[in-house]
Structure 1
Amino acid sequence: MPTNLIGDQDFNTTPTIKNKALRVNLNESIYGTFAEIGAGQETVRNFFRAGGASGTIAKTLSAYDKEFSDAIYGLEPQGRYVTEARLKSMLSTETRLIEERLKRDKHPDKLFFSYANTVATIDFAKKYKGHGWLGIKFQAHPKQEYSEILLHIQFHQNSAVHQQITLGKLGVNLIYEAFYNHDNPKQLLKNLYDHINDDDIEIDTINFTGPLFEKVDNRLMSLQLVKNGMTEAVMFAPDGNNVLPASVLYKKNILTLRGSFRPVTRVNMSMYEKSLELFLNERKVDREKAVVIFEITLSNLKAEGEINEKDFLDRADLLGSLGQTVMISNFQEYYKVVEYFSQHTKERMGLTMGVNTFIDIFDEKYYRHLSGGILEAFGKLFFKSLKIYLYPLKDPDTGEITTSENLQVHPRMRELYQYFKDNGRVVDITDFDPEILDIYSREIHQMIVEGRSGWEDMLPETTTAMIKEKNLFRS
């Protein structure tokens, strides 16, 4: 028996939005509902216009009024409607209704689906560009449990009308790809941008769930978003599910550690623990609203050529086991990280880094693309009293410890460095163990790959145990 009733698709050519909608309409098996809130019924409009929609559309609605929406989908505890929770409620309710009202014995070959979106387009003052959640809950076989694809978008267009048109195209792409390309999630992801300008929208979160996607690791899908240029940064929680960066960062005090974490060493954990203690003791930091982000850059993942997905997942597993939220970004310079965070919070932020990394940020070559050069970059870097928590460096030959007091920057940068230091923007981590300063993750990784011993005590106990148990960092 075939695994689905949909048929194969020739991806040598890209069908138009109209042809995609028409192909879905003409498929006698596909049947479902459309629920769209906040930006018109832009997706279903394409199916009506394509023709043959009566064979596909069981119901379409747009519950704009909040009281109507609450009556249908339930109350939202926080009174917010453009949320993942609202989208899930919409999909669950519509799926339940279609199952209740269309009996299986009368429709044995139907592949039911529910498509939904909840969106806020650009405001009249054009202060907020707008964003939205959209998703589909669907079957690839009548007897199969439902699978889901949920995603979040940020609009970059300056017209509500253009945003509505883009949303309609994206909705058609999502429905079409769910039915005709669910067995190739990476290609599905790319095809969501069919007939949409790359600069029009940003997809910053996506999650695949259900029987069709049992083998899909959402962290890899998150990685694809950055790799494909669909967004600059993504996040996933310790449980491996992708999370919306805006939800994690909104009005939070943020402490960030950038690294390879290949693997997580005792030095990494010492940097984290000691800097977090200093950060939480800052007068303007609310402990209840503080978050820690472990950041890995795309260039770091490509350090040895193409991205090794297993290597990436090994790092992610280790950080997840330590309860950390991970961000994958395409930000080369630190000021871009701060600039990104400042879109979501005005609260105090901190960066944790080692002496070598800190000296690097004073290298002017990284800022030649900026009209204001290094001064422009530092103006963004030290946004809103940001502080850098500096972990010391030990010279392997002399044993000398380098801190903010004796580090050397280029002569042209000395006054700039001294200015930030004198204003308390650079804080030394003094409570450190000098015995672990000789630990380097690159050397440990090489030892693990070569099957040598002696690295075990250089890592947190849980990390060592996990590497051995799951045979991490070995092909």
Structure 2
Amino acid sequence: MPEHERYDAHHKALSVNLDPTTFGSFAEIGAGQEVARWFLRVGAASGTVAKTISAYDKEVSDDLYGAGTRYVSKPRLHAMLDNEWQQLLSQLQATRGDHTKFFSFVDTISARNYAGTNDCHGWVGLRFMQQPGGPPSDIFLHINLLDPSNVQQQEAVGILGVNLIYAAYFVSGPAEKFLQSVFEELGLERVEIDYVEWSGPAFADWKRDEAHALLVVGGYAEAVAFPAGDELAPSNELLYKRALVLAPGRFDNVCDLHADLIEDTVAQLPEEELKESKGGLGLFCLSVEGISAPGQQASVKEILEHVEELQRLGYGVMLFRAQELYTMSAFANRYTKLRIHFAIGLTVHVRVLQDRYKDLPGSLLEGLARIFTQNVRVTVYPMPAEELRRRAAAAGLVGWSWKETDGMVSADNLHPPGSLDSLHQYLLDSELVLPGKPRTAQPSASSAKV
């Protein structure tokens, strides 16, 4: 396909069907059989489709793929793929193996239920040969389905599956090019890809962390998780029912004090929240916007340098597309109903109050409302007065004043200009914003203004 040309799902499915060397099977659980349906309805399906199956019944699924795993999970997807691939080769390798590039497509999906109460997500996998008789390559995706209806989610899965099979055979090269093809005719309002895993010669040049960061940088996910350990995982598996402490920031100079933000806040989590949860979890939050310069999107290289520095402090990192706190809390609330605790430094707090939220009709008031209507508490830790003075001057802040205690400024001693100070005082009085406790006593005080 020429670089400038883009095919829709119909043309992609037909292109695969008309290729005499591709032949494979489809096993789909949940969200209908929308992927196979594309290949069956565009014509020439007999040249591509060896078998389609949909083992909806749990007992039937267990008999085929084994019991003991969650039905919508990566282990289940692996079991499905191994079973279907082994069967495909045992039945067709002898007669077609010398001229056929076999493939097996599998998915297990939890599409929107009748009541709309479930987590709409799924796992998608493909094993394929690049050459007849050659070694297979695997690719696995975790996806989130965001369409409001079951039918629309089925349609999205169908398009994504067609795109994946087409990309495997017709789009070679770097991860960015491959993922762009997989995401065509979709968008973040419909589907997110927040995890990708692969093996085999087709992806020999891909790098794991780069591809993971690319999911956000390329616009395929709102956020991805880089856990503290070495093993990546989808956000729903990391955040599910956890008592969360999120520490967002630009992290120009990573140091132990950033870890203290999380450690101190986790230590203060209410006991009742911990009992209701699967345990406390602290994460740094990094946005692809504003790392290198405000308003500019960072490169994958810059992002991974920041991620690695933060992980050395002992905590994982959530990488977000947006930098607003209300976006981060809304994302976390997909997977936990417990209170979200933000642990921030004073400069982030100033940015929250100074931001005009131009994308929101209600500007600042709507931005703050979106944060605090989501069961959020913000703990603001003090910073050195000299550092605050330097950053205020660099940001061009006018009318802000504060009282410093032993060279430090805390949230309750910070005063924004004009009527904004009254709003700030309300947030403090209502304990929506909590001043972080200094680590040492602060005996002396003085005042400053910019």
TM-score for the superposition, normalised by structure 2: 0.84
> Within 2, Cα distance between the matches of 1:95 and 1:317?
37
Pick aligned residue for 2:16 from 7, 11, 24: 24
Superposition deviation, residue 307 in structure 1:
2.9
5+ residue gaps, structure 1, are 1-8, 435-475
Matched, 1:85 2:75: yes
For residues 59-458 of structure 1, the aligned pairs below 5 Å read 59-77=51-69, 80-103=70-93, 107-126=97-116, 130-142=120-132, 144-196=134-186, 199-239=189-229, 242-261=232-251, 264-279=254-269, 283-286=272-275, 288-303=278-293, 307-363=298-354, 365-383=355-373, 386-396=376-386, 400-425=407-432, 426-431=434-439
Higher mean alpha-carbon deviation, 51-60 vs 41-50, is at 51-60
> Within 2, Cα distance between the matches of 1:389 and 1:232?
24
Query: Structure 1 pair 275/14, CA: closer, same or farther in 2 (3 Å)?
Result: same
Superposition deviation, residue 106 in structure 1:
5.8
Secondary structure of the 1:28 match is: coil
Superposition deviation, residue 122 in structure 1:
2.6
> Within 2, Cα distance between the matches of 1:104 and 1:300?
57
For residues 453-464 of structure 1, the aligned pairs below 5 Å read none
> Within 1, Cα distance between the matches of 2:343 and 2:190?
34
Higher mean alpha-carbon deviation, 98-107 vs 109-118, is at 98-107
Secondary structure of the 1:411 match is: coil
Higher mean alpha-carbon deviation, 99-108 vs 269-278, is at 99-108
Residues 110 and 122 in structure 2, CA contact (< 8 A), matched pair in contact too: yes
Secondary structure of the 2:127 match is: strand
Pick aligned residue for 1:57 from 26, 46, 49: 49
Superposition deviation, residue 156 in structure 1:
3.2
Residues 206 and 242 in structure 1, CA contact (< 8 A), matched pair in contact too: no
Secondary structure of the 2:51 match is: strand
The one-letter amino acid paired with 1:274 is D
Residues 346 and 384 in structure 1, CA contact (< 8 A), matched pair in contact too: no
Higher mean alpha-carbon deviation, 169-178 vs 235-244, is at 235-244
Secondary structure of the 1:430 match is: coil
Residues 289 and 298 in structure 2, CA contact (< 8 A), matched pair in contact too: no
Q: Deviations over 1:391-422 (max 9, x none)?
A: 22112389621113322223313333233323
**Residue matched to 1:14:** 6
> Within 2, Cα distance between the matches of 1:186 and 1:431?
45
TM-score for the superposition, normalised by structure 1: 0.79
Q: Deviations over 1:135-166 (max 9, x none)?
A: 21222234544322222333333343333233
> Within 2, Cα distance between the matches of 1:323 and 1:266?
10
5+ residue gaps, structure 2, are 388-403, 443-450
Superposition deviation, residue 75 in structure 1:
1.5
> Within 2, Cα distance between the matches of 1:372 and 1:19?
44
> Within 1, Cα distance between the matches of 2:285 and 2:133?
42
**Residue matched to 2:400:** none
Higher mean alpha-carbon deviation, 37-46 vs 25-34, is at 25-34
Secondary structure of the 1:186 match is: helix
Matched residues, percent identical?
30
Higher mean alpha-carbon deviation, 322-331 vs 32-41, is at 322-331
The one-letter amino acid paired with 2:419 is R
Query: Structure 1 pair 237/428, CA: closer, same or farther in 2 (3 Å)?
Result: closer
- Tell me how large the CA RMSD over aligned residues is: 2.9
Residues 263 and 282 in structure 2, CA contact (< 8 A), matched pair in contact too: no
